[in-house]
Structure 1
Amino acid sequence: MKLTEVYIERCDKDSEELISKENYSFLTSSIQHLKQNMNEFLYIESPSFENIKTDALSFEVDDVFKTYMVLLGFKVQKKHADGIKSYLAEHLHGENAFYSCSFSGEEGLWELNIPIDFMEGFHEEQSIEQVLSITYHFLDQLTKSIEYQ
């Protein structure tokens, strides 16, 4: 994955207000930043995300389960429900792996909440950039699996 024109915001989870805009170097920070700042989420936009059928990715830590999550609007048709669900069930590893996906007719996209903790290759010691890369790869494979159907 090669990120181009990346746009990064740190935002408050409750109000969704901007805490600060960050530059590319922020991605070298540890993903643990999110556990140390449970009230925050990261919003990342890049034209590179077009390949994975989304405009932006949001990263946060789930308040209840304390797992790292990626939230996104996945721009594929509603008819791909079975393909999305079977891919997630097959490729998220761990006994307690969970996810949520629902189709928004208004938006015309799938709202996906996926736990990064259960993606292959994830470790809490990684940088945000490394986790972004793992997430991008996971979503790229999901996109390709749907295109094959």
Structure 2
Amino acid sequence: MNYTIVDRCLKETDEVIEQQVFNVLQHPLTYLQTHQESFIYVESATFDEVNVDCMTIELDDVFQTYTALFGLRVSKDEEAFLKYFIETETNPTLAKHAILYAQADKMFDMNLTLEALDGFEANWTIEQAIETVVQLMRKYEAAREEAR
């Protein structure tokens, strides 16, 4: 996947700590345990193919789970289908997700627990986690097309 921006940012302020740190993508997810104060912010042209705005990967402070947060540019009237899709495509015993429509942005704010994704491995690299979320969104796009 071709990334245009990869930054490490402080959770508390969203301040960029390190810019264009493409090498961080090759670190295992455990990197986020040793850098809990920060998140990884990424942008990619590939995201446009699946209506994803941008993505952050972090370790959730409360649940201590790896989390992907991103904007999904689909209309509000798809909410029921989107929620059904996420609930059926993630492990229900591990699925901690939030799907909220942001009217101002005209997109869903998605918050997915990576551990709930099919095939999750604790030794995934940050890039593998991002790619898995993108694959899930490709599957969603295909399901949307089929449902039409």
TM-score normalised over the length of structure 2: 0.93
Unmatched segments (≥5 aa) in structure 2? none
**In the alignment, which residue of structure 2 is the partner of 1:97?**
95
**In the alignment, which residue of structure 1 is the partner of 2:20?**
22
Deviation beyond 4 Å, 4+ runs, structure 1:
none
**In the alignment, which residue of structure 1 is the partner of 2:116?**
118
**In the alignment, which residue of structure 2 is the partner of 1:136?**
134
- Equivalent position amino acid for 2:133 in 1: T
**In the alignment, which residue of structure 1 is the partner of 2:82?**
84
**In the alignment, which residue of structure 2 is the partner of 1:40?**
38
1:75 and 2:70 equivalent?
no
Following TM superposition, by how much is the alpha carbon of 1:18 offset from its aligned partner in structure 2, in angstroms? 0.6
**Could you tell me how far apart the structure 2 residues matched to 1:26 and 1:38 are?**
14
User: What is the aligned residue count?
Assistant: 147
Percent identical residues: 22
Following TM superposition, by how much is the alpha carbon of 1:94 offset from its aligned partner in structure 2, in angstroms? 4.2
TM-score normalised over the length of structure 1: 0.92
Following TM superposition, by how much is the alpha carbon of 1:68 offset from its aligned partner in structure 2, in angstroms? 0.6
**Could you tell me how far apart the structure 1 residues matched to 2:112 and 2:3 are?**
24
Preserved contact between residue 6 and residue 24 of structure 1 (Cα < 8 Å): no
Pick aligned residue for 1:64 from 42, 62, 65: 62
